[in-house]
A and B are shown apart, each in its own frame.
Chain A
Amino acid sequence: MDFGPHLFLATLEGAITAAVISLTAAGLSIVFGIMRVVNVAHGEFFMLGAVGAWWVTTAVGGHPAFGFAAALIAAPLFVGAIAALADRLVLFRLGYDPERTIVATIGILYVIQQVTLMTFGPDARPVEPPFNKRIPIPWLGIGENGLELTWPWGLATTTYKLAVIVAAAVILFGVWQFLSRTRFGLLMRATQLDREMATAFGIPVRKIYARVFGFGAAIAALGAVLIVPVQQAHYLMGTDPLLLSFIVVIIGGLGSLPGTIVAAVLIGMSDGIISVFFSPTLAKILATLLVAFVLVFRPQGLFGKAQA
């Protein structure tokens, strides 16, 4: 494939990765920003979203679009509820102690993964996309007769993949509006700024925490529902998103939503482009190296504010 179309295709694939990671990492970032909890089980909430989407689409039947629409609502709610329950049963009882919550969320990771293995099974299961049409992309290049429009072999995407990118952008905008414009968003931000002062002002911090934990998990689950028609649901699918989310959140700055989004686009795009032109392993190596540099030279992340 020529360089131009090749790069374009790589960018498209990178944009899909970026879309899904930005949702997953946003969830992780919100949970850390407000609760100061490093949620190692975050990737499993992502996986639960995909598995939930499979259950819902299988149960609904009829045209794939009905099942998918139902999954878009039901799967994140279900995952959010499980996360809120985990907060109440585990994290709250540990007093949100940073070290102990890391170990506790590792435990939650294994519990969720093994319960999924025991119920859903070890197979990857496909979810039908609500719509999926192949779109060949024309390319304007200089050929034998000067400037001409060609249809390079393999330069194509699908309507569904484009929809994933748009949907992720819309959801992120919604999350940002929710945090900055609603009363609940205000309470969340107040809790983030000063937990004790928020308690003194009568903000129900306990409830806020449970909801924030559920909310963060639900956003990851939403990302998973979007990607599952492209990737299939599988009980081990949470590992990669977890790793990429941590990379993104560290680069972007823990707790900074704009930083998370910028870092997700950066990592997603470079992952797509480097994988295409070199190798996927090199893409992971470079991303991890970038994390190391950020941690050494700018530990608060590119967009994070230094801790007082």
Chain B
Amino acid sequence: MHKTQKTTTPVTRRGALKTLGTGVGALAAVSAVPGFRFSQAHGSEPIRVGFQVHRTGIGAAYGRWYDRTTQAAAKRINDAGGINGRPLEIIAADDGTDPKRGAEVVEKLATQENCDVVFGTLFSHVVVGSAPRAGELKIPYFVVSEGHHVASGILNRYTLQPGITDVKSQVEAMAPFVVNNLGKKVTMVFPDYAFGHDHRDYFSAAVERSGGSIGALIPIPPTETSFTKYFPNIPQDTEVLYHVMVGPAVLTFVKELGEFFGSSGPQLFGFIDSLEAVDIGSSGLEFLNGSHFWEGFPRYAQADQSSHDAAYRAAVGVDANGASVSDPQDVSTYAHMFGCWETLNVIKAGMEAANYRGPNDRTALIEAVEAMNQIPLSDDHPQGSKLFNGKSHQVFGHQYISKVADGRLDLVHTTSIEDTMYPDEVDYTTQSF
């Protein structure tokens, strides 16, 4: 190698700089010509959907399944002819489940990757950290987060949540069931950040409206790895322990809950978040038998499974137990990830209604989604029928309550959409773009 270099013309510093300069100049010239990309690829250029994904950090298990669901949904849309005749391209970027990086990822997807929209964020602190940047960049930001922050009005007109219901509607629909069937004195254990605070505020208020009372509120940092020390704060007269936990240590959390109570203890009502991506048959979880869980979408295929659920499972690669078809140990985040599938279908419907052609039509896309209302149960929306509220940018839908029996979750109650509704807190349509 050394020899050949010596015999050929040596690369001088000046020469290298010249070549580099020409290259940069050419590049600048190309990008300066308006419509260069467009004229070259009009009609066939893909619609670029930026996917902000928690590949690493505390949301990694969710991120893995959000990714699989998104890829499956995009493939299905492309197999059926794409959006307005153009293929859909998913451009994923990892935000490390970190709010600061979240805002950077939104910026990168919007300005460097030239995405048409950004979508897919789950963890509420990342959404709250990223949404203002999306608003400044004027790029539609479709979150799949559950947090109440969209409907609460603290975000902006560019942020929408059309594919998954929010915590406030979920917990308000759960409270009557908990108080009437499990017990009136409730103690709550929840993660100490925005998502957990939504649980704390709206569930405790709803319990009191339903005639129950709150014994204690126990916050736990989402990065915690050891939990026994928090449990003695649960009052002795607690009838129902309401638990919701997130992060990599959820299995430890539930195990230590079992070790704490043994065979005695209160009724347990959990949000499935405490067990997302965790096998219910894991050793140490036997005590969960007979306890109840909220599920956004039943993990185990039920006896009356709809054809839509079956088709969705097959497309994503999830078996009847909610685990990957290729690895039964790899349990999905089934109660949440449908939100990616449904949100992509909303983006598709919105772009078709707005006759979306490019970034200039972004506001038309938002207006088209805001105009949506009834969303029927279908292969596009396998979780159930929904109502979209264009004013609060939030969708409302059915909630499911399951009971653990013989190492699986069986559906025992489905709420109506009306059970989950609450008065509007914001009207984003009055904000200017």
Q: Which residues does A use to contact B, with CB under 8 Å?
A: 1, 5-6, 9-10, 13, 16-17, 117, 121-124, 126, 128, 132, 134, 136, 153-154, 156-158, 230-232, 234, 236-237, 240, 272, 275-276, 280-281
Q: Are A232 and B261 in contact (CB under 8 A)?
A: no
Instruction: Report the minimal beta-carbon distance from A158 to chain B, rounded to whole angstroms.
Output: 6
Interface of A is mostly: mixed
List 7 A-B residue pairs with CB atoms under 8 Å apart, sorted by A's residue number: A10-B232, A154-B265, A158-B259, A231-B226, A231-B252, A234-B225, A276-B229
Q: Identify B226's interface contact among A5, A13, A123, A124, CB under 8 A.
A: A13
Over the window 279-308 of chain B, the binary record of Cβ atoms lying under 8 Å from chain A Cβ atoms (1 yes, 0 no) is 000111000000000000000000000000
Interface of B is mostly: loop
Tell me whether A123 and B60 are in contact in the complex, defined as CB-CB below 8 angstroms, given that A132-B284, A280-B224 are known contacts.
Answer: yes
B387 CB within 8 Å of chain A: no
Q: A66 CA to B230 CA in the complex, in Å?
A: 33
Q: A13 CA to B259 CA in the complex, in Å?
A: 13
Q: Are A1 and B251 in contact (CB under 8 A)?
A: no
Contacts of A10 on B, CB cut-off 8 Å? 229, 232
B386 CB within 8 Å of chain A: no
Instruction: Report the minimal beta-carbon distance from A67 to chain B, rounded to whole angstroms.
Output: 14
Contacts of A230 on B, CB cut-off 8 Å? 226, 252
Tell me whether A153 and B56 are in contact in the complex, defined as CB-CB below 8 angstroms, given that A13-B226, A230-B226 are known contacts.
Answer: no
Q: A262 CA to B284 CA in the complex, in Å?
A: 34
B180 CB within 8 Å of chain A: no
Tell me whether A232 and B248 are in contact in the complex, defined as CB-CB below 8 angstroms, given that A117-B56, A123-B61, A240-B225 are known contacts.
Answer: yes
Across the interface, name the chain A residue whose C-beta is closest to B258. A134
Q: A1 CA to B261 CA in the complex, in Å?
A: 12
Q: Which residues does B use to contact A, with CB under 8 Å?
A: 55-57, 60-61, 63-64, 221, 224-226, 228-234, 236, 248-249, 251-252, 259-262, 264-265, 277, 282-284
Instruction: Report the minimal beta-carbon distance from B219 to chain A, rounded to whole angstroms.
Output: 8
Contacts of A121 on B, CB cut-off 8 Å? 60
Tell me whether A134 and B232 are in contact in the complex, defined as CB-CB below 8 angstroms, given that A124-B248, A240-B225 are known contacts.
Answer: no
Q: Identify A6's interface contact among B61, B226, B232, B252, CB under 8 A.
A: B232
Contacts of B55 on A, CB cut-off 8 Å? 122
Q: A139 CA to B118 CA in the complex, in Å?
A: 57
Q: Identify A126's interface contact among B60, B234, B282, CB under 8 A.
A: B282
Across the interface, name the chain B residue whose C-beta is closest to A121. B60
Tell me whether A136 and B226 are in contact in the complex, defined as CB-CB below 8 angstroms, given that A122-B60, A154-B234 are known contacts.
Answer: no
Q: Identify B260's interface contact among A122, A154, A276, CB under 8 A.
A: A154
Q: A10 CA to B232 CA in the complex, in Å?
A: 9
Q: Identify B261's interface contact among A17, A154, A240, A280, CB under 8 A.
A: A154
Q: Are B228 and A9 in contact (CB under 8 A)?
A: yes
Q: A189 CA to B312 CA in the complex, in Å?
A: 66
